[in-house]
Amino acid sequence: MSEEGNLPTFQFKKLLNDEQELYKWLVTMITQTGIARVENAPKEKGQLQILGERVGYLMETTYGLLPEVRAFSEHSTHEIGYSDSNLPMHSDYSFNQVVPAVAMIHCIEQTDGEGGANLWVDAFHAANLLYEEDPELFQILVNTPVIFRNVTKTQVGHMYNESRHPLIR
Ligand SMILES: [Fe+2]
């Protein structure tokens, strides 16, 4: 398990103003780590949109273009992500036919109380370990389609999503 200090870290304002830094951030995430921390974004809504639009088009999901996650929001009765419960390891948007290439999360305010740590898994590393330790099992996960389903309550009603694909693709 990596420590927090191993995460590549970039500064929000520098990413907005420095093309080389923006390039380095993207290349780091896409080709090396799959994840990076961006520090010192203003603690107000809209910052993800500003940074995201520096890179490309934003992708709307069933949760909206810029979903706001609050513990005990109106979504908390049916979405664990909107509760103050621990989230088990999971993959976001597995149920989508088209998965966003990059997900950005901006913590504006930490909820009161205990917890709140972010845990991330290096799925490429896990897949490589599995490939080395049990290539037959790895091939099963590469070749066996699995159905992923999600029902989300949206402003216009319930949104049903389903996708069928192998766990490793
Ligand atoms: Fe998630």
pLDDT of residue 3: 54
Cα 81 to ligand 1 centre (Å): 7
Cα 35 to ligand 1 centre (Å): 14
pLDDT of residue 74: 58
For residues 68 and 45, is the Cβ–Cβ distance under 8 A? Answer: yes
Cα 146 to ligand 1 centre (Å): 19
Please identify every residue whose CB atom is under 5 Å from ligand 1, which is an ion.
92
- Ranges of the chain whose pLDDT falls below 50: 1-2
Q: What's the burial of 13, exposed, middle or buried (CB within 10 Å: 0-12/13-18/19+)?
A: middle
pLDDT of residue 1: 43
Cα 90 to ligand 1 centre (Å): 6
Cα 93 to ligand 1 centre (Å): 8
50: helix, strand or coil: helix
For residues 8 and 33, is the Cβ–Cβ distance under 8 A? Answer: yes
Cα 103 to ligand 1 centre (Å): 9
Cα 102 to ligand 1 centre (Å): 12
Cα 51 to ligand 1 centre (Å): 20
Cα 80 to ligand 1 centre (Å): 10
Provide the residue ranges of all domains of the chain, joining segments of one domain with +: 41-165
**CB neighbours (10 Å) of residue 87?**
10
The CATH code for residues 41-165 is: 3.60.130.10
Cα 58 to ligand 1 centre (Å): 18
Express each pLDDT in 60-91 by its tens digit.
888 888 888 877 655 555 677 777 777 888 88
Average pLDDT, the chain: 87
Percent of the chain exceeding pLDDT 70 equals 92
pLDDT of residue 76: 56
